């Protein structure tokens, strides 16, 4: 896979680096009890979000999972509001109502962080159905993990999308483990692309550690979807370097396996190739790191300076607010 | 104008589809088959397969797709054949439709309408006779309506489609053939607000949906015993019209709650609790419930009849409250009213 | 210069961890992201990483130590920092559910099987509580009826509001804003109350009178006066009137008592919670005996300001409605004093029993013709004996006698006529 031009390569590298440094900071903040609840980190899988979402247009839609900080940042949801959301501050992109697992952003058509495995797939089908019925040229990109493939909703969604030839891009992030259950323990057939192919939709397996490959495959798929070829399925083979969530002693995989995958760190891979191609030097990398660090630190400052939503507003947004509403939910 | 409940729903859908091009109907057998209960019969010819959309048997998939389409700017009517099958779509209804607005801090609302048939009485046994609208009424973020009249069946769908949030409409299977009078200019009906279907002074009969007609019949019979019963049709189970419930109790000081659903943890329990909370000092007798007997619905007609609230049960419950006459309150004036009723425990 | 490295929070449920081993030692330099040790949790052993480039200054928690989340494990030397930083400033909002402070459940005392004793016998169950509906209790309180003594006709024999109202002799229907005009002024045929209603009323009276005699220290005063001139004047006034418009002598009594009370407010009110509460208005209750038995004393509201004609028609109205069982609840509960009059077929003196929580009752005996000395002359006069039974807690006999004398004076002069 040939590298794109220097500026674009740098943008991809920056996108991945931002996710990495953002999440490292989140892990730290979690241990300091600034961030609570569940925290699922994407570290190791950055190439998937950075490479695939780079292809999407602003008019497209994204549906993601509870491991969605990467998609949100790659999609351009402001780093500040994502971090504030992690804190639960009302300046967060979902007013702090969702937290780490439920990042939403209307501006970028980011339809959430869904914390039910496979729960987002039918939504993506519906979003695509709506754009089709409205005659709008939108692609809905739907991210989910290998675990989702075992769910009934996955198959229902595959069938509906293929049956109705809807403009959905199914992005399966196969990181080999559904939480702590390895693919081969959970799936009768571990070749996940073949599952989708059974529904008659084009389905390819892609090296999810190579952001350039991810981008190229996504471009091909998205172009085809826009031309009316119906849904496409991409299985990104990837790996999460960190535990499933913060509280996970990783009893289910070996340190050697993790170390082996880290040799294919998507950031290192791209960095190395860019250096080889003369697109990047130490100074350039340092500048990039500094830029990203500043952005992350600014987001932490933004979140720290944020405010807590008053308890009086607890029941807001249970139902839509209508003019003259006191902002109460049904009591 | 005479019309059946089925026609009233069909007219409501047709009218909505003409009025708003974002509206479409989807569900199992809504198109070519004409709808399991023939509600959508003829609509495929009129609107075509894009807008009268047959779906595969995939409740979670197409309900979720309806929610997604609503997020995407459409106004879908999702028909789930019966409440019994809606459990396959619980994840989408409860985890997505009901939560997205709140989880997204108000960014994304879900204007989907989900219709489903509910209730027993057709001898279709345990898996096709459930009345679980009360379950859904438990969920904040949803609106639950139970139209019992042709006017409501027609007018509530209209309002539901204009609502920015998910609305679940429960249509009792025994009502589809019911004929009723519908004004030519019948318009939208609000989703909130119970209706007093008959005024009375001695006892309030509180109910909704398919049970309304049994309750009205019971009220007639009670009148022949010199008991003036007020009949309150809740129409919406979420939100409940507390004001109307408390007002009728304040007028009559006695209440019988009639619900085809089971008593344990049911909507009747909620109504009773609210009366206790809001009208305790108005009560001149304990609240009594006439509910479905706590068994999976049996197939034979005589057992099914025995499992569902009947007019005689309602009359007996109301008479027990008003006339007293030494009926032990512990035993409960009516079936299913108090501890130890049939089917409650092993 | 130095800061601590604290036990990290690794999950929402984690309260503490046990140090398993350290991969570092004092003096060693570490980089952000280095795994510096292992901590054991209820989920298993987890690598812990460091967030700063630093030098390990001191190990504060050796392996085997259990350390709560947020407590220090290591002391670090951090380059470039010249102030001691406490990274643990707590900015948690009030609403945040704080992690429970290591809620150690108290260990259950070990009990050998042989030591187990049978749970103590449940105390003997008290007599079953009387079933009285909430509404009935509320009405009973308003009507001054003891609900425990009312016969219940509701489900399971529960006392209902109607039972209470029957016991009070009132009308079970809610008060209407306007009194319903009676179409027929003739006394309605007395519908003999159902036996159980009658019994319920008897019990209600019994309850009230028992309470009165048990709680109220009555004192009694009596005074006889001539009504001769007043009655003559009344006869004159009534002479040309049709029977329906004739002023009743009872109206004179009510009026006199009411006017008398204006100067003696301590007799017009209620003894409640060990204190006298003066009533807002003067509403004498006129005791009316019912033909089937029992009695009620509905209020004649604002009697001092009403004319004799108005009082007369008010008396006719309440008597008729009392006997028809159609009094309004407020009429039964509003009296501030009771007047009991034996009419023209009784005995000459009546000492009443105070109706609690009122503090006085005025008794008026039958008008009796007797020899009467006045102005040095003895003649035949129609006389009446007034009595006062009053609550000694609320006032004394001296004031009571002045009040009774005042009433007698008003009756004797008959100025109202």
pLDDT digits (tens, 9 = 90+) for A176-194: 999 989 999 899 999 999 9
User: What is the structure's pLDDT at C196?
Assistant: 61
Q: Cβ neighbours of residue B60 under 8 Å, at least 6 residues apart?
A: A122, A152, A153, A156, B88, B89, B91, B92
Give contacts of A251 with chain C, Cβ < 8 Å: 44
Q: B4 pairs with which residues across the strands?
A: B179
Q: Do C217-282+336-417 and C2-77 have the same topology in CATH?
A: no
Do B140 and A329 count as a contact with CB atoms less than 8 A apart? yes
Do A112 and B100 count as a contact with CB atoms less than 8 A apart? yes
For residue range B185-207, list pLDDT tens digits in order: 888 999 999 999 999 999 999 99
User: What is the structure's pLDDT at B211?
Assistant: 97
Q: How confident is the model at residue B86 (pLDDT cuts 50, 70, 90)?
A: very high
Q: Give me the mean pLDDT over the A124-138 stretch.
A: 97
| CATH number for the domain formed by residue range(s) B195-323 | 3.40.50.920
d(CA C339, CA C337) in angstroms, rounded, equals 7
State percent of chain B over pLDDT 70: 94
Q: How confident is the model at residue B210 (pLDDT cuts 50, 70, 90)?
A: very high
B7 is catalytic: no
B217 is catalytic: no
Give contacts of C96 with chain A, Cβ < 8 Å: 36
Give contacts of C163 with chain B, Cβ < 8 Å: none
**pLDDT surpassing 50 at residue B340:** no
Q: Do B195-323 and B2-181 have the same topology in CATH?
A: yes
DSSP 8-state code for residue C371? E
Q: Cβ neighbours of residue C212 under 8 Å, at least 6 residues apart?
A: C353, C354, C355, C356
Q: Give me the mean pLDDT over the B319-325 stretch.
A: 83
Give the class (CATH, top level) of B2-181: alpha beta
d(CA B118, CA B85) in angstroms, rounded, equals 10
Pair type for strands C16-22 and C29-30: unpaired
**Average pLDDT for chain B:** 92
The distance of B105 to chain A (nearest Cα, Å) reads 4
Do C12 and A30 count as a contact with CB atoms less than 8 A apart? no
For residue range A182-234, list pLDDT tens digits in order: 999 899 999 999 999 999 999 999 999 999 999 999 999 999 999 999 999 99
Give contacts of C157 with chain B, Cβ < 8 Å: 324, 326
State percent of chain B over pLDDT 90: 89
**pLDDT surpassing 80 at residue A8:** yes
For residue range B98-117, list pLDDT tens digits in order: 999 999 999 999 999 999 99
DSSP string, B175-186: GTT-EEE--TT-
Q: Give the number of beta-carbon pairs within 8 Å between A and B.
A: 156
Select, from the ranges A31-40, A44-53, C71-80, the one with the highest average predicted confidence (pLDDT): A44-53
Pair type for strands A140-145 and A61-65: parallel
Sketch the domain layout of chain C as residue ranges. 2-77, 217-282+336-417
> Could you tell me the domains of chain A?
6-313 (3.40.50.970)
Q: CA of C162: which chain B residue's CA is closest?
A: B284
**pLDDT surpassing 90 at residue B222:** yes
d(CA A129, CA A143) in angstroms, rounded, equals 17
Element (H, E) at C224: strand C218-226
The per-residue pLDDT string of chain C (417 residues; one tens digit each, 9 = 90 and over) reads: 678 999 998 877 788 899 999 999 999 999 998 999 999 888 788 889 998 899 999 999 999 999 999 999 999 998 765 444 444 444 444 444 444 444 444 444 444 444 444 555 555 555 667 789 999 998 888 888 888 888 888 888 889 888 898 888 754 444 333 333 333 334 444 444 455 666 777 777 887 888 888 889 999 999 999 998 899 999 888 888 887 788 988 999 999 999 999 999 999 999 988 899 999 899 999 988 877 677 888 889 888 989 998 999 888 888 887 877 777 766 777 899 999 988 777 888 999 999 888 999 999 999 988 999 888 888 889 999 999 999 999 999 999 999 999 999 999 887 777
DSSP 8-state code for residue A273? H
Predicted-assembly ipTM surpassing the 0.85 threshold: yes
User: What is the structure's pLDDT at C96?
Assistant: 40
User: What is the structure's pLDDT at A70?
Assistant: 98
Whether residue C391 contacts residue C360, with contact meaning beta carbons closer than 8 Å, is answered with yes
Q: Is A128 on the interface with B (CB under 8 A)?
A: yes
Query: 């200054």: which residue's tokens?
Result: C57
Residue B43's closest CA among B9, B10, B78?
B10
d(CA B305, CA B243) in angstroms, rounded, equals 33
d(CA C148, CA C158) in angstroms, rounded, equals 10
- SS3 per residue for C385-404: EEEEEEECCCCCHHHHHHHH
Do C157 and B320 count as a contact with CB atoms less than 8 A apart? no
Q: Which two tokens stand for residue B204?
A: 């309030």
Do B283 and C135 count as a contact with CB atoms less than 8 A apart? yes
Q: Which two tokens stand for residue B70?
A: 């609503």
User: What is the structure's pLDDT at C333?
Assistant: 78
Q: How confident is the model at residue A164 (pLDDT cuts 50, 70, 90)?
A: very high
Least confident of A68-72, B176-180, B249-253, C285-289: C285-289
Q: How many CB atoms lie within 10 A of CB C273?
A: 7
User: What CATH number matches the domain at C217-282+336-417, 3.40.5.50, 3.40.50.1980, 3.30.420.10, 3.30.559.10?
Assistant: 3.30.559.10
**pLDDT surpassing 50 at residue B336:** no
The distance of A128 to chain B (nearest Cα, Å) reads 7
Q: Which two tokens stand for residue B14?
A: 């047709």
Q: Is A92 on the interface with B (CB under 8 A)?
A: yes
**pLDDT surpassing 60 at residue A33:** yes
Determine whether domain C2-77 maps to CATH 1.10.530.10: no
CA angle A293, A297, A299 (to 5 degrees): 120
Whether residue C181 contacts residue C175, with contact meaning beta carbons closer than 8 Å, is answered with no
Q: How many CB atoms lie within 10 A of CB A37?
A: 14
The distance of A294 to chain C (nearest Cα, Å) reads 16
Q: CA of C138: which chain B residue's CA is closest?
A: B281
Q: CA of B92: which chain A residue's CA is closest?
A: A119
**How far out from the chain centre does Cα C168 lie?**
18
**Which chains form contacts with chain B, at 3 or more CB pairs under 8 Å?**
A, C
User: What is the structure's pLDDT at C317?
Assistant: 86
Which residue of A247, A254, A293, A304 to mutate against C (max C Cβ within 10 Å)?
A: A247
Do A157 and B72 count as a contact with CB atoms less than 8 A apart? no
User: What is the structure's pLDDT at B345?
Assistant: 45
User: Which of B64, B96, B107 lies closest to A125 in CB terms?
Assistant: B64
Sketch the domain layout of chain B as residue ranges. 2-181, 195-323
Q: CA of A310: which chain C residue's CA is closest?
A: C95
């Amino acid at each position: 896979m040939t590298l794109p031009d220097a500026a674009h390569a740098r943008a991809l590298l920056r996108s991945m680096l931002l996710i990495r440094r953002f999440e490292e900071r989140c892990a730290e903040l979690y241990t300091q009890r600034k961030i609570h609840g569940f925290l699922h980190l994407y570290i190791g899988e950055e190439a998937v979000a950075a490479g695939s979402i780079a292809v999407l247009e602003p008019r497209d839609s994204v549906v993601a999972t509870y491991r969605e900080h990467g998609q949100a940042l790659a999609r351009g949801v402001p780093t500040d509001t994502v971090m504030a959301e992690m804190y639960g501050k009302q300046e967060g992109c979902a007013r702090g109502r969702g937290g780490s697992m439920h990042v939403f952003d209307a501006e970028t058509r980011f339809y959430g962080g869904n914390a039910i495995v496979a729960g987002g797939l039918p939504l993506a089908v519906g979003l695509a159905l709506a754009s089709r019925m409205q005659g709008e040229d939108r692609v809905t990109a739907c991210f989910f993990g290998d675990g989702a493939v075992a769910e009934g909703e996955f198959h229902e969604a595959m069938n509906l999308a293929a049956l109705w030839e809807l403009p959905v891009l199914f992005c399966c992030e196969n990181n080999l483990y559904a939480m702590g259950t390895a693919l081969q323990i959970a799936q009768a057939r571990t070749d996940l692309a073949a599952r989708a192919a059974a529904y008659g939709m084009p389905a390819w397996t892609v090296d999810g550690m190579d952001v350039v490959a991810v981008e190229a495959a996504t471009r091909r798929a998205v172009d085809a979807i826009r031309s009316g070829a119906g849904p496409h399925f991409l299985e990104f083979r990837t790996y999460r370097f960190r535990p499933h969530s913060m509280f996970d002693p990783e009893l289910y995989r070996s340190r050697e396996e993790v170390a082996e995958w880290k040799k294919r760190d998507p950031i290192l891979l791209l960095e190395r190739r860019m250096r080889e191609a003369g697109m990047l030097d130490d100074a350039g990398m340092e500048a990039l790191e500094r830029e990203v660090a500043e952005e992350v630190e600014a987001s932490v400052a933004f979140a720290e300076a944020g405010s807590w939503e008053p308890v009086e507003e607890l029941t807001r947004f249970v139902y839509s607010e209508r003019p003259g509403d006191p902002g109460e939910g049904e009591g | 104008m005479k019309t059946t409940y089925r026609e009233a729903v069909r007219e409501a859908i047709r009218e909505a589809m003409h009025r708003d091009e974002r509206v479409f109907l989807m569900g199992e057998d809504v198109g070519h088959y004409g709808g399991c209960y023939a509600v959508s019969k003829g609509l495929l010819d009129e609107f075509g397969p894009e807008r009268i959309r047959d779906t595969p048997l995939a409740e979670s998939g197409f309900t979720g797709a309806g929610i997604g389409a609503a997020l995407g700017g459409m106004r879908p009517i999702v028909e789930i054949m019966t409440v019994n099958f809606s459990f396959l779509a619980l994840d989408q209804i409860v985890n997505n439709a009901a939560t997205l607005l709140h989880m997204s801090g108000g960014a994304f609302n879900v204007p989907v309408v989900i219709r489903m048939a509910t209730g027993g009485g057709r001898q279709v046994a345990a898996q096709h006779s459930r009345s679980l609208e009360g379950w859904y009424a438990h969920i904040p973020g949803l609106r639950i309506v139970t139209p019992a009249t042709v006017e409501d069946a027609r007018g509530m769908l209209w309002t539901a489609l204009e609502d920015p949030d998910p609305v679940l409409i429960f249509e009792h299977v025994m009502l589809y053939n019911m004929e009723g009078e519908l004004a030519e200019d019948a318009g939208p009906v609000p989703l909130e607000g119970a209706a007093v279907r008959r005024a009375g002074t001695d006892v309030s009969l509180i109910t909704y949906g398919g049970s309304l007609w049994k309750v009205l019949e019971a009220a007639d019979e009670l009148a022949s015993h010199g008991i003036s019963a007020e009949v309150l049709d809740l129409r919406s189970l979420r939100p409940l019209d507390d004001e109307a419930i408390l007002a009728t109790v304040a007028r009559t000081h006695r209440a019988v709650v009639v619900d085809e659903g089971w008593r344990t943890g049911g909507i009747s329990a909620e109504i009773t609790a609210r009366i206790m909370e809001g009208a305790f000092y108005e009560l001149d007798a304990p609240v009594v419930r006439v509910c479905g007997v706590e068994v999976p619905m049996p197939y034979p007609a005589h057992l099914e009849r025995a499992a569902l609230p009947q007019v005689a049960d309602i009359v007996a419950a109301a008479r027990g409250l008003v006339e007293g006459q030494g009926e032990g309150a512990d035993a409960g004036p009516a079936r299913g009213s108090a501890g130890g009723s049939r089917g409650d425990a092993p | 210069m130095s800061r601590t490295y604290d036990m990290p929070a690794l999950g929402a449920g984690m309260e503490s961890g046990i140090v398993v081993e350290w991969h570092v030692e004092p003096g060693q330099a570490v980089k952000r992201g280095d795994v510096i040790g292992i901590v054991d949790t209820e989920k298993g052993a987890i690598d812990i990483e460091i967030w700063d480039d630093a030098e390990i200054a001191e190990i504060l928690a050796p392996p085997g130590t259990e350390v709560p989340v947020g407590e220090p494990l290591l002391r670090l030397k951090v380059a470039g920092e010249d102030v001691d930083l406490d990274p643990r400033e707590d900015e948690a909002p009030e609403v945040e559910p704080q992690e429970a402070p290591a809620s150690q459940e108290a260990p259950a005392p070990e009990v050998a099987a042989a030591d187990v004793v049978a749970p103590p016998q449940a105390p003997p169950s008290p007599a079953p509580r009387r079933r009285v509906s909430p509404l009935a209790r509320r009405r009973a309180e308003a009507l001054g009826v003891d609900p425990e003594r009312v016969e219940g006709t509701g489900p399971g024999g529960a006392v209902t509001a109607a039972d209470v109202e029957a016991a009070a002799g009132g009308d079970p229907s809610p008060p209407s804003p306007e009194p319903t005009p009676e179409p027929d002024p003739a006394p309605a045929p007395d519908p003999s109350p159902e036996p159980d209603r009658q019994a319920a009323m008897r019990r209600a009276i019994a309850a009230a009178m028992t309470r009165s005699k048990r709680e109220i220290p009555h004192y009694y005063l009596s005074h006889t006066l001539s009504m001769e001139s007043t009655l003559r004047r009344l006869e004159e006034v009534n002479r040309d009137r049709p029977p329906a418009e004739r002023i009743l002598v009872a109206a004179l009594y009510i009026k006199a008592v009411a006017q008398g009370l204006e100067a003696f407010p301590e007799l017009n009110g209620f003894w409640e919670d060990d204190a006298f509460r003066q009533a807002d208005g003067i509403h004498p209750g006129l005791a009316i005996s019912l033909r089937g038995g029992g009695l009620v004393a509905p209020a004649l509201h604002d009697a001092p300001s009403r004319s004799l004609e108005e009082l007369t028609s008010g008396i006719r109205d309440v008597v008729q409605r009392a006997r028809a069982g159609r009094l309004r609840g407020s009429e039964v509960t509003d009296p501030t004093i009771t007047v009991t009059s034996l009419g023209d077929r009784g005995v000459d003196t009546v000492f009443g029993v105070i109706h609690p929580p009122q503090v006085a009752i005025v008794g008026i005996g039958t008008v009796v013709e007797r020899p009467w000395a006045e102005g040095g002359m003895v003649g035949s006069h129609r006389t009446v004996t007034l009595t006062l039974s009053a609550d000694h807690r609320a006032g004394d006999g001296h004031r009571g006698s002045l009040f009774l004398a005042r009433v007698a004076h008003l009756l004797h002069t008959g100025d109202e006529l």
